Amino acid sequence: MATSTSVQFTVGKLDAGMAILLTEDHHLIEFPSLLLPPGVTSGSIVNIGVNRNYDQEEAQSKEFWELQEAILKEFGRNKPESPRLHIKQITQTSVILEWEPLVLHQAKLKALNIYRNGERLSQHAPIGINYINRLMGLEMKCIKKNVYIETK
């Protein structure tokens, strides 16, 4: 089902691919002159019809949402899981952290950042199955450590 509207215009000016069209009640629009019929010049009167095609809108909307669902199903259902950390060795001023292989699902690892008290200590893009990092120069007081994975 399509609805249509037709409006009459007077061509005011043709210039560099654009036509200035005027309505009877003095509204002005710019229109691509390529879409005008051959032989149209300044002063010509043209009727321009505009159609809305509901069937095509519905078909394109359905196709768009099917694509969105396919993308969500492939990439959006399973988020990367938080890293599981273990302390391999600890002294008063250093700690060796070990973590299990990361479960990223469809995401790709961009970086793994280790923070101490909100300050980044190191950044890694590990390749192996088991990951180990040694943090040295730690103070003897209580320290909060965070490990963040960055994915793309």
Which residues contact residue 52 at a Cβ distance below 8 angstroms, ignoring those fewer than 6 apart? 2, 3, 4
Please name the residue that has the structure tokens 């509207």: 5
What is 2-76's CATH superfamily? Nucleic acid-binding proteins (2.40.50.140)
Query: 85-151, what's its fold?
Result: Immunoglobulin-like (2.60.40)
Q: Per-domain residue ranges for the chain?
A: 2-76, 85-151
pLDDT tens sequence across 114-134: 776 777 766 665 555 456 666
pLDDT tens sequence across 38-72: 999 999 999 998 888 999 999 999 999 999 999 88
